Amino acid sequence: MKSRWSHWASVVLPVAAAAVVFVAAWKAIVLIANYPDWFLPAPEVVAQRFAQAWLDGTMWRHASATLVEIGLGFVVGAGLAVAVGYLLARSRLAERLLSPYLVAAQATPILVLAPLFVVWLGTGLAAKVVICALIVFFPVAVATMVGIRSVDARLLELGRSLRASHWQVVRHLELPAALPQILGGMRIGVTLAVIGAIVGEWAGADRGLGVLINLARGSLFDFPLMFATLATIAGIAVLLYLVVVLVERALVGAWR
C-alpha cells in the first residue's frame, strides 16, 4: 500500500506541481502587467472559454476533424517509415539512393510544402494525411534504421544457426530488439503529426483546430477561444504521446 502511494506521489505530484506553478506564473504575469483579455487572457478566462467551447460543440466539431487527420497521417507515415527504415538499415544501396531525398524532404519547411499538396491533392482529407505522414516519416524511419542496425549480431547468428527464415528473423528477433528505438521515434512522430495536421488545415480546410485558431484570431478577435484551442491542441499532443508510451510499455514488456 505504502509503495503504491509513494509511486503515485512520485509520478503525479511533480506533474501537478509543475501545472500549478505554470498557471500561477501565468496568472501573476496577467495581474502584474494588467494585461487585457485581448493581449493575454487570464487562465480562468481561458478555462471558462475552453469549457464553453466544448459544451456548445464548437471545439469537438473542429477537434474531431483534426484527430482523424492525425490518426490517418500517423498510421500511414509511421507504417511507411518502419518499412523504409528497415530497408535503409539492411541495404547500403537503398541508403545511398534514398538518404539525400529523405534529408532534403525533412529540411524543407512543411509550411512551404503544405500549399503545394493542397494544390495537387485538393483541400480534402488526402492533403492533410500526406502532410502529417511526411512530417512523421523522418524521425520514425531514422529511429527504425538505428534500431535495426543496433540489433546484436550474435542474436542474428543464433537465428540463422536455428535455420529461422528471413521473416522469422525479422519478426522474432530484429523488430522486438529494435522496438524501443522505433517507439522512441514514434513518440516524436506522434507529436509532429499534430503539427502536420494544423499546418495542413492552415493550407486549406473548413474544419479543424487550425481553422478554429484562424477564426478566433482573424475574424472574431476572440483571444480566450484561441488560447482554449491551443490548450486543446497541446492536450491532444500530450494524450497521444502517453498512448505511445503505454503501447511501448505493453509491447516491449510483452516481447521481452
Report the interface residues with another protein, using CB under 8 A: 36-39, 115, 118-119, 123, 202-206, 211, 214-215, 217-223
C-beta of 113 vs 170, nearer to another protein = 113
Q: What is the CA radius of gyration of the chain?
A: 22
- Phi/psi at 170 (nearest 5 deg)? -60, -50
Q: Considering the complex, what minimum distance in angstroms separates the CB of residue 38 from another protein?
A: 5
| Side-chain-facing half-sphere of 195: CA atoms under 13 Å | 11
Q: Considering the complex, what minimum distance in angstroms separates the CB of residue 196 from another protein?
A: 16
C-beta of 18 vs 220, nearer to another protein = 220
Q: Considering the complex, what minimum distance in angstroms separates the CB of residue 53 from another protein?
A: 12
C-beta of 133 vs 213, nearer to another protein = 213
| Side-chain-facing half-sphere of 37: CA atoms under 13 Å | 15
Given a contact cutoff of 8 angstroms between Cβ atoms, the answer to whether 37 and 224 are in contact is yes
C-beta of 16 vs 33, nearer to another protein = 33
Q: Considering the complex, what minimum distance in angstroms separates the CB of residue 217 from another protein?
A: 5
End-to-end Cα distance, the chain: 28
C-beta of 174 vs 222, nearer to another protein = 222
E strand or H helix at 120, and its extent?
helix 110-121
Grouping H, G, I as helix, E, B as strand and the rest as coil, residue 42 is: coil
Q: Considering the complex, what minimum distance in angstroms separates the CB of residue 203 from another protein?
A: 6
C-alpha distance from residue 149 to each of 15, 96, 137, 202 (Å): 36, 16, 18, 38
Given a contact cutoff of 8 angstroms between Cβ atoms, the answer to whether 200 and 68 are in contact is no
C-beta of 41 vs 159, nearer to another protein = 41
Q: What is the amino acid identity at position 44?
A: E
CA distance 247 to 234: 20
C-beta of 169 vs 228, nearer to another protein = 228
Q: Considering the complex, what minimum distance in angstroms separates the CB of residue 114 from another protein?
A: 9
Nearest to 90 by CA among 166, 149, 37, 160: 149
CA distance 9 to 137: 36
Q: Considering the complex, what minimum distance in angstroms separates the CB of residue 112 from another protein?
A: 10
